[in-house]
Structure 1
Amino acid sequence: MLKSSVRVASLAALCLWILPDLAQAAEVRLTAPDAGDGFADRLRSASLTITTAAQQEATAQDLLAAAQSDYGRLIGVLYAEGFYGGVIRILVDGQEAASIPPLRAPSDIRQIDITVERNAPFVFSTARVAPLAPKTKLPPEFVTGNRAKGDLIGDATRSSIAAWRTTGHAKALVSEQTIIADHAASTLSADIQLDPGPRLHFGELLLAEESRESRVRPDRIRDIAGLPTGRKFSPEELDNAATRLRRSGAFRSVVMIEADRPNPDGSLDITARVTDAPPRRLGFGAELASLEGLTLSGFWLHRNLFGGAERLRLDAMIGGIGGDSGGEDYRLGARYDRPATFHPDTGLFLEARIEGNDEPDYTESKVEVGGGFTRVFSDELRGEAGIAYRYSDIDDDLGRRELQHLLFPARLTWDKRDDALNATSGLFLEVSLTPFIGLDQRSGDGARIFADARHYRSFGAGDRYTLAGRAQIGSVAGPSIGEIPADMLFYSGGAGTVRGQDYQSLGVDIAPGVRVGGRAFVGFSGEFRASVTDKIQGVAFVDTGFVGQDALGTGRGDWHSGAGIGARYFTPVGPIRVDIATPLGERAGEDLELYIGIGQAF
């Protein structure tokens, strides 16, 4: 009996200990008479009381502090929508929250009632910002007679100051503001006076104290940033300087700080605060296809090789492991990049590559050494051009031969996608042109051109559905097929062209028992992507491709197609892709190919 009594007493004590915490759970009610659901939702989102009451650990002191802060937060919502005569009441167990001393908070709060009365909306009796810089674009709603939303005043002021800064007046500011609410007439007068300040030009690029410890030399930081000292101040040029430093990859963070005051000569110094990124990086990748087998790749990267943000990247790849698409392929490569060479947006690169391809219709070993320049024209447009020597040792149905060429590769990329690994909107276009000159009698002169265009469009609630389309076209003009390196010709089939078809299964039969790549290629792919959850996406796709014997697609040639379904699982490094595809035509449904990788198919 004694033990049972002890247990009962302990249970009662436990309940008494828990009950005070349970008592802190307060009911919060918000009412907004004559306000639509959308406005009420904005009030609830702004209310700290509602957020605090939902927290189990919230105390009465926390609830009172939240209720007292809600006066200002909810008034901000009213002013933003043009209601300047609103009334806010917040009752804490029947007592106005503003009247409760913070140090005398009740030990228990059971109910908080929030009432927001908007009353009549106000309109602008005056809506003026002056003086204005040429081509200033004010919000179209910021005019006399329109709803006097508080956000419009801020937007108009910021737009006006930004316009002055664009014309070189870096220190433009508000010199005077007169904002008067006439409650009797329900009008608001907003008169903002600006002081543009002097027109300034860029001064020196200085380094913050902590940035002087950077492993990148100060002179190279200035070269890469490319701040146009002596030229008119421009916010765009300032952003470009910061972007160049970030784009170098040598820095983890970059902040550009304008001097508080201009120099007597009208120049404005800029201070760069940079933090170095880890100098080295190691990466790995893997892709699996049922026919092509396993492909493994890896790289080692040094971001600041000689103290000038030079990048050295070493790559290695082995593919075709366990596949039925020939033998194993390999690639070893090295690339050196030096930013800001001759121009802040121009970079120098040197590269060398050794590669071996054991494909269904040919084997080829090659060595390529070259270099050139890259150029960033804008955030979306980039280019690259160079010169390279290439040696190829080829064995195919035309026999064994060795070719030597001098290449002049050039590439232009226009990328307006919202995400390179998982695009849901935008355009992508890449065009490459490679003229080549044969260096011996067996190697021909000519040019190879290839274009890859992609378009993405999303629709539905929350852009749940995405349509993705891709078109590829290529041509090799000039020499005969035997005078062209085998991997510069075109094949179709596999993950990069037509899924469901065997890897490189479509080429050109130029004679009985003689099968080679074509000099013309056209491919189209379409995908319909639908989000199932935040992490999972379903995909249906169809691909088709054509390979022709001649540069213009004339002569011998053929089409093939494939279709399938897939799934994407989204991770921090990109979506994991799983696709199952079958050929279209006589073998539809009989053969299935599996593809696994990281990132969307295109």
Structure 2
Amino acid sequence: MPAAALPARLRRLFLFALAALWLLPAHAGYKVEIEAPKALREILENHLDLSRYKDRTDLSSDQFDYMVETVGDQVRQFVSTEGYFDPVTTTRVVGEGDERVVHVMVDPGARTLIRNVDIKVDGPAATRSPEQVAEVQKKWGLPAGEPFRQEDWDKAKEDALVTLQSRNYYGARLAQSQARIEPDELRADLSARYDSGPAYLLGPLRVSGTRRYPEQIIRNVNPLNEGEPYRVERLLELQRAIQNQPYFSNVQVDLVPPEGAPANPPEGVITAPVEVKVREYPQHRLNSGVGFTTDTGAQVEGRYSYYNLFNRAWVFDSQARLEQKRSYLFAETAMPPDQRTFRNSLYGSYERTIDLENTDTTSWRAGLKRSRSREKYDITLSLDFYYDNLLPEGQPAQISKALVPAFAWTRRDVDNPVFPRRGNVINTQLGVAAKGLLSDATFFRMYGRIRQYVPVGNRDLFVARLELGANITTADSSNIPATLRFRAGGTDSIRGYSYQSIGTPSGSSVLPAKYLATTGLEYQYWFKPDWGVAVFWDAGTAADALNDIKIYNGVGIGARWRSPVGPVQLDVGYGIQEKQFRPHISLGVAF
């Protein structure tokens, strides 16, 4: 007996009978009570016609009686998808008119289990890729001993096909499948046969959709090699590389089997072009956003970009952000990526912070940068000039400058860039300055940060963070630009303390220091997919000397929300050394 649903002819007969009886006298609605195991009860409540039409007031008595008489056929149809092929259904109607209650009692009987599974792959994969065929068989989603469910059966077939199609065998197909049900023995025998088709190799790129911006941009960031084996992940890597460029709003990448290619080539291999279709952004783009953090207060942001400067796809990017305690201006002109995917740019910025631990800071920065962003790694070589004016309350201004050649490296290895649950993000920075070369001091600057994500169970998450920074120099720290020194405290540092409140005390002010070390451990309990709570511990310090440091500790609890626009974080931290509670809120919306 097949595992199929109610025969189509019986279904059509039922619908015809309902239509034919529609003109007969109507009666009020009724109630339905279903007694069945919970999983089956939910299915029957949602899909039985008796349940679906219970609130209708235009059903005739003959229509109602017909649904009651045939409910057993519908029950058999729906519970068979869960592996129950011999249910016993008892129906009882109590009351009259709109007081009627239909009691449907379902004894599903024993569940059918999988007895045998036979999965075969024909075609070139059988000899060229035996390990891939073994993977299909090993990962089969409905093994012997498991209950038969129609949904699981469909998913197992699809997942096995995806395993073939995602690597080498782009044209693989399901040639035949059968679920043979033995109701008397309560057993199911499954068989599926796949035809792998030929193995595919990647051919040349075919690009379409470019009008304003040169096609060479796409070719320069292309990580694929002609002749390499087809893998869907490699096509997705190309898609992401193109999407990371600022020129394209939509990117589609696919393999295009050549016309007239034989279904079974003699060598079992076909080379197919890679088709790239893009949709370009307009030359002008304007973005804005609002946000709030307890560190610097409410903020409003605007950004204007022009993507075809000099009619050569150079990008002019400008940004302005106004916060309660900080204002920031930025402008950059960047060239398109070259054949090694590096982008060269020239930029400048202005930043001012006010009343941060009784200090005001004004910083000017200009520089040249050569950077490359790939799937998991970013590399930047830069030459930056800093000119900072630090003004502590009631003290003379500290004006300092430095010309800093620098190197930065970032590695992103997470499962989700917006809401990560597994992996880590690592950032390192190295820079050097020499006194007399547009610098007030000789120093070597190092900075590193790592954030590790460890999943716990199906939803929970453990997050660990470490941050280290140092300016190696014999000079006084005041000769190093303030923005190259360090302070700690705040939402992404040591919670329980004010933003940048940990550093070198000087009168009523707290000045940035030569050295930094912070760490944090956080456990997030997600009681719903998008809502969670967290407990955390943070610790660290910022100081000018390593022989007399004070470690600051903070503990607390918080709420987490995976909002449609990004993560929202609300924490309450307790600073143990300062014996104080402080809220920490971080949210933002771009539009």
TM-score, normalized by the shorter chain, greater than 0.5: yes
1:287 paired to 2:314: no
User: Corresponding residue for 1:231?
Assistant: 228
User: Corresponding residue for 2:548?
Assistant: 556
Q: 1:282-304 deviations in whole A, cap 9, x for unaligned?
A: 12234354xx6645341314384
* AA partner of residue 565 (structure 2): V
2:130 aligned counterpart, secondary structure: coil
Alpha-carbon deviation of 1:410? 0.5
* AA partner of residue 129 (structure 1): K
2:235 aligned counterpart, secondary structure: helix
Alpha-carbon deviation of 1:91? 7.9
Alpha-carbon deviation of 1:52? 3.2
The 8 Å contact of residues 328 and 349 in structure 2, kept in 1 or not, is answered as yes
1:409 aligned counterpart, secondary structure: strand
Matching residue within 302, 305, 310 for 2:305 = 302
The structure-2 alpha-carbon separation of the partners of 1:92 and 1:368, relative to structure 1 and needing over 3 Å to count, comes to farther
1:588 paired to 2:583: no
1:506 aligned counterpart, secondary structure: coil
The structure-2 alpha-carbon separation of the partners of 1:225 and 1:537, relative to structure 1 and needing over 3 Å to count, comes to same
* AA partner of residue 31 (structure 2): E
CA distance in 2 between partners of 1:257 and 1:72 (Å): 43
The 8 Å contact of residues 79 and 108 in structure 2, kept in 1 or not, is answered as no
* AA partner of residue 197 (structure 2): G
Q: 1:304-352 deviations in whole A, cap 9, x for unaligned?
A: 446898754322234454xxxxxxx4321124566653256x6555432
CA distance in 2 between partners of 1:535 and 1:154 (Å): 29
Alpha-carbon deviation of 1:489? 1.5
User: Corresponding residue for 1:316?
Assistant: 320
1:408 aligned counterpart, secondary structure: strand
User: Corresponding residue for 2:429?
Assistant: 433
CA distance in 2 between partners of 1:167 and 1:538 (Å): 40
2:302 aligned counterpart, secondary structure: strand
* AA partner of residue 173 (structure 1): R
* AA partner of residue 285 (structure 2): R
2:551 aligned counterpart, secondary structure: strand
User: Corresponding residue for 2:18?
Assistant: none
Q: 1:115-162 deviations in whole A, cap 9, x for unaligned?
A: 574556243345232345422322367556765555565455445444
Q: 1:407-449 deviations in whole A, cap 9, x for unaligned?
A: 21313133526563x66x3354332222223224633141322
Residue ranges of structure 2 left out of the alignment (5+ in a row): 1-23, 95-99, 263-269
Q: 1:485-542 deviations in whole A, cap 9, x for unaligned?
A: 22211222344433443443332369x9997533221223455666799998666655
The structure-2 alpha-carbon separation of the partners of 1:43 and 1:125, relative to structure 1 and needing over 3 Å to count, comes to same
User: Corresponding residue for 1:598?
Assistant: 587
Q: 1:75-112 deviations in whole A, cap 9, x for unaligned?
A: 47634x545x4458798989xxxxxxxxxxxxxx9859
1:473 aligned counterpart, secondary structure: strand
2:199 aligned counterpart, secondary structure: coil
Matching residue within 493, 506, 518 for 2:513 = 518
User: Corresponding residue for 2:97?
Assistant: none
Deviates more, 1:165-174 or 1:382-391: 165-174
The structure-2 alpha-carbon separation of the partners of 1:147 and 1:495, relative to structure 1 and needing over 3 Å to count, comes to closer
1:238 aligned counterpart, secondary structure: helix
User: Corresponding residue for 2:200?
Assistant: 200
1:168 aligned counterpart, secondary structure: coil
User: Corresponding residue for 1:124?
Assistant: 115
Give TM-score, length-normalised by structure 2.
0.71
The structure-2 alpha-carbon separation of the partners of 1:406 and 1:521, relative to structure 1 and needing over 3 Å to count, comes to closer
Q: 1:30-56 deviations in whole A, cap 9, x for unaligned?
A: 455xxx434x25634762647734777
* AA partner of residue 348 (structure 2): A
Alpha-carbon deviation of 1:275? 4.6
* AA partner of residue 338 (structure 2): T
The structure-2 alpha-carbon separation of the partners of 1:435 and 1:338, relative to structure 1 and needing over 3 Å to count, comes to same
Alpha-carbon deviation of 1:164? 3.8
CA distance in 2 between partners of 1:130 and 1:483 (Å): 71
Give 1:130-141 correspondences, 5 Å limit: 130-131=121-122, 132=126, 133-136=129-132, 137=135, 138=137, 139=139
Alpha-carbon deviation of 1:173? 1.8
Alpha-carbon deviation of 1:214? 6.5
User: Alignment length, in residue pairs?
Assistant: 535
Give 1:353-364 correspondences, 5 Å limit: 353-358=349-354, 360-361=358-359, 363-364=361-362
User: Corresponding residue for 2:170?
Assistant: 170
1:486 paired to 2:482: yes
* AA partner of residue 493 (structure 2): T
Identity of aligned residues (%): 14
The 8 Å contact of residues 362 and 486 in structure 1, kept in 2 or not, is answered as no
CA distance in 1 between partners of 2:175 and 2:209 (Å): 37
* AA partner of residue 475 (structure 1): A
* AA partner of residue 414 (structure 2): K
User: Corresponding residue for 1:333?
Assistant: 330
User: Corresponding residue for 2:80?
Assistant: 78
User: Corresponding residue for 1:267?
Assistant: 271
User: Corresponding residue for 2:403?
Assistant: 405
User: Corresponding residue for 2:243?
Assistant: 246
The 8 Å contact of residues 507 and 515 in structure 1, kept in 2 or not, is answered as yes
The 8 Å contact of residues 44 and 75 in structure 2, kept in 1 or not, is answered as no
The structure-2 alpha-carbon separation of the partners of 1:231 and 1:569, relative to structure 1 and needing over 3 Å to count, comes to closer
The 8 Å contact of residues 545 and 561 in structure 1, kept in 2 or not, is answered as yes
CA distance in 1 between partners of 2:159 and 2:301 (Å): 48
CA distance in 1 between partners of 2:304 and 2:146 (Å): 58
Which is bigger in relative contact order (C-alpha 8 A, separation at least 6)? 2
Give TM-score, length-normalised by structure 1.
0.70
Residue ranges of structure 1 left out of the alignment (5+ in a row): 1-19, 95-108, 322-328
The 8 Å contact of residues 392 and 404 in structure 1, kept in 2 or not, is answered as yes
The 8 Å contact of residues 27 and 57 in structure 2, kept in 1 or not, is answered as no
1:135 aligned counterpart, secondary structure: helix
The 8 Å contact of residues 297 and 315 in structure 1, kept in 2 or not, is answered as no
Deviates more, 1:554-563 or 1:431-440: 554-563
User: Corresponding residue for 1:102?
Assistant: none
2:433 aligned counterpart, secondary structure: strand
The structure-2 alpha-carbon separation of the partners of 1:194 and 1:502, relative to structure 1 and needing over 3 Å to count, comes to closer
Alpha-carbon deviation of 1:584? 2.8
Alpha-carbon deviation of 1:390? 0.9
The 8 Å contact of residues 172 and 197 in structure 1, kept in 2 or not, is answered as yes
* AA partner of residue 598 (structure 1): L
The 8 Å contact of residues 507 and 547 in structure 1, kept in 2 or not, is answered as yes
The structure-2 alpha-carbon separation of the partners of 1:205 and 1:140, relative to structure 1 and needing over 3 Å to count, comes to closer
CA distance in 2 between partners of 1:111 and 1:26 (Å): 8
User: Corresponding residue for 1:10?
Assistant: none
